[in-house]
Amino acid sequence: MSFAIIAAILAGVVSGMFIMPESFLQNTDLLATVSLNALLLLIGIEVGSNRNVMSDIKKSGLASLVVPVSIITGSLIGGLVAGLIFGLPHNISLSIASGFGWYSLSGIMLTKLANAQVGTIAFMTNVFREIFAVISIPYIAKYLNHYSAIAPAGATSMDTTLPLISKATSPSVVVVSFINGVLLSSLVPFFVTFFFSI
């Protein structure tokens, strides 16, 4: 997945520089808006299609609440610290951290809300989060604990990193991982917009 992301970025850069006509490039904002709306529709369909969400939450108990709250808190604190180190305004660093690993959505949103530079930082930050998750999940599960392995995955814990979490942990953790991904993915649009506006 991560190699596909990098390949897509490189293909986009090359296409934008050498291949695409100016008439196409003038419509990229419209295409980004349509893509964003389609992405939000698909995540809504995915959440709505799982008829067992409420029963899964009940089975997983307190972990289904503690894990997402901890990941949100850690992500936002990490974003603030990184913002201080790199001299970013608090609202920008919190908005970027609020992507929770969902690089496509946070990148597009912050490009529209702020500018292409902030959108690119958000995109790359969340891509690197997913790459880090892919590398670290097996080790975190082995040397720390199974629930901690969900943390680096963030919003991707319900889809792209779920197979890794499933392989490295147990079925009960997989349920919490999926719930965490659903909750964080649902919150990304609201958190990014909210923190950007403060």
CA distance 180 to 40: 17
pLDDT band at 66 (very low <50, low <70, confident <90, very high): very high
pLDDT at 49 over 80: no
- The three-point CA angle 112-116-122 to 5° equals 85
CA distance 27 to 110: 18
DSSP string, 142-186: HHS-TGGGGGGGGGGGGTTTHHHHHHHS-HHHHHHHHHHHHHHHH
pLDDT at 189 over 80: yes
User: pLDDT per residue over 108-167, tens digit each?
Assistant: 899 999 899 999 999 999 989 988 998 899 999 999 999 999 999 999 998 888 888 888
CA distance 5 to 87: 27
What percentage of the chain exceeds 70 in pLDDT?
Answer: 85
Residue 93 structure tokens:
């660093």
pLDDT at 1 over 60: no
